[in-house]
Amino acid sequence: MTSEQLKPHARGRAGALRTAAGAVTPVTGARITGGLLRQWQERNRRATIPHTIGRLRAAGNVDNLSRLLADDPPPYRGRYPFLDTDLYKTLEGLAYEIGDGHADDAAEEFFDEVVGLLERVQAEDGYLNSFFQDPAAAKKPWEDLAWGHELYNLGHLIQAAVAAARRMGDDRLLGIAVRFADLVVRRYGEGREEAVCGHPEVEMALVELYRETGDPAYLTQARLFVDRRGRGTIKHSIFPPDYFQDHVPLREMPSVTGHAVRMAYLAAGAADVHLETGDQELFAALDRLWDDMVATKLYITGGLGARHSDEAIGDRYELPSERSYSETCAAIATMQWAWRMFLGTGGAKYLDVFERVLFNAYAVGLSAEGTAFFYDNPLQRRPDHEQRSGAETGGEPLRRSWFGCPCCPPNIVRWMAQLGDYVAAERDGTLYLATYTEATIETASLAVSVETDYPWDGEVRVTVDRAPDGPYALALRVPGWARAATATVNGEGVEVSGEWLVVERVWTAGDEVRLTLPMPVRAHGSHPYLDATRGAAGLARGPLVYCVEQQDVPASVDDLVLSAPRIVSANISRSERELPGAVVLRVTAGVAPPPSPELYPELTGEPLAEPSAPEEVPATFVPYFLWGNRNAEAMRVWVRTQ
């Protein structure tokens, strides 16, 4: 690890990055104590986790393991050979909850039951996969790395195992994961069979396993998997090599491409390899890919992936609103990548994207009550839209309670449970506040409390609860969207410039830093090459993107016309009516006259019609992440400006 890199906060033992020099820095933690993120975590415990456990049982994910203990196992249930991962992701989330003392008996029993099954089902050589271990399975282990997802399975197993070891002090899963990982190292390690999984994920998991165990073989294996990809080791079928990021090595890739979740997991894993090896060439490639993605391929919501057909990212500026795929898992993967880039550099630009994804592309994937999910996340719903969510046939209105390929719901569960790990980071002598939420943060050096109603409000108050003896720096992130931010230290004004407000001094308990991030309503346009939304306006306030749903405006959302003066004079208020507790924007919008019925009216030869003065209507814009929690009606993020 270079001196530029940061250490994340995680409670428990060995919860830090292992440096390239081999030292582990023990850290304490950050705890989310209030506000929106706290509400999300409580909803996760109260609603999403019980729902997920129930659906995993009903769908057969648990039975798929237990059946292997029978002499004549009943058939595998489900369509995909990676359904164990949905158990692993849930176990990972539960490890945080159990470790923090928040889990109920049912959650603890589920954890113990599944871990017990895994211990009994794991093969003697360490292999573990409930699809392939069935003697009647259509394929044999390791036969089809392109679609078998066995290493992807291992990745999620490792992540659950590391979480359980760190947060619960429970090493049972870690033992299982190590046995499987050792088998993989023996089979695919240096000088062994040159192969990679069709679905990246195991790379970042192996680096975590290295951090947890100290065994460099896992770091080497992660690096091998990163560097082997792009050399045609995957047997391509159905989709071309770029779907698997196997068309060119990552270091030479010109732009993020292919299956969006695979791409972002791969990049996050490669960023982990960089964090531990200091491989600057790898970092340079990742930074180039990151900048290109943010400049040309990311939705305003932070969603990644424009194409439904192969869940792929698409071309530069190919960002259609109603066909935005933006898989919820891709949102999580993008945050994982962003966080690791931040750790590698201290750069706040990555955190700007992190929070954009967190409060928009990620949060929208879960219903307000916490038991229904979007798989794909469009930015527009047309009035006559027929929902075909999750690439399933039939479909149903808006969010669904589960999917045949249920990768997203348990991914949401584990991410909600670990949000506290993304609040702060530390570099020698500096505490970085990365994500604003009401929280308490403790390190070996100091403890602070954060009070804020972010993202609804931009006032952030940081109080020092325990101070170090000597000088220490507090670094408060100034988001890229924030203009005219101001700050005080113990009531005295300090200058705010750049992406971090850094205040270094000898602190005393009770000292207070206040940061004010003004949150006027913003209107965003689109790059001229972004044909789908060129000329339209998207509303945002703070880190939140807004949208308009049909039930909140007495004219068709397709006919609404916004102008900059109307947007700037929007009324900002807490909603009591539409979505209780949310800050909504009330604007006066124009209504365009009925358009020509011709799909492609000729523009030549006729004088262009003068637009008539539009009628005006009141329109309420709601946070995008809360759309679709009432009736399934038309919705738009991007609204006409003429």
Residues that bind Zn ion (CB under 5 A): 327, 329, 407-408
Rounded to a whole number of angstroms, the minimum distance from the CB of residue 635 to Zn ion is 21
Residue 259 CA to residue 163 CA, distance in Å, equals 27
Residue 559 CA to residue 554 CA, distance in Å, equals 11
Rounded to a whole number of angstroms, the minimum distance from the CB of residue 328 to Zn ion is 5
Asked if 218 and 206 count as a contact pair (C-beta separation under 8 A), the reply is yes
Q: Which is nearer to Zn ion, 407 or 425 (CB)?
A: 407
Residue 437 CA to residue 434 CA, distance in Å, equals 10
Rounded to a whole number of angstroms, the minimum distance from the CB of residue 260 to Zn ion is 10
Rounded to a whole number of angstroms, the minimum distance from the CB of residue 392 to Zn ion is 13
Q: Which is nearer to Zn ion, 51 or 166 (CB)?
A: 51
Q: How far is CA 556 from CA 550, 567, 592, 635, in A?
A: 7, 18, 10, 10
State both tokens at 552: 């909140």
Q: How far is CA 257 from CA 21, 236, 315, 522, 574, in A?
A: 34, 16, 8, 30, 40
Rounded to a whole number of angstroms, the minimum distance from the CB of residue 312 to Zn ion is 14
Residue closest to Zn ion when measured from CB atoms: 329
Map residue 620 onto helix, strand or coil. strand
Q: Which are the contacts of 288, defined by CB distance < 8 A and separation ≥ 6? A: none
Of the candidates 76, 148, 88, the residue with the CA atom closest to the CA atom of residue 118: 88
Rounded to a whole number of angstroms, the minimum distance from the CB of residue 309 to Zn ion is 16
Rounded to a whole number of angstroms, the minimum distance from the CB of residue 59 to Zn ion is 15
Residue 430 CA to residue 633 CA, distance in Å, equals 48
Residue 111 CA to residue 271 CA, distance in Å, equals 30
Residue 98 CA to residue 606 CA, distance in Å, equals 70
Q: Which is nearer to Zn ion, 364 or 450 (CB)?
A: 364
Helix axes 408-417, 84-99, angle to 10 degrees: 20
Rounded to a whole number of angstroms, the minimum distance from the CB of residue 267 to Zn ion is 17
State both tokens at 479: 């988001």
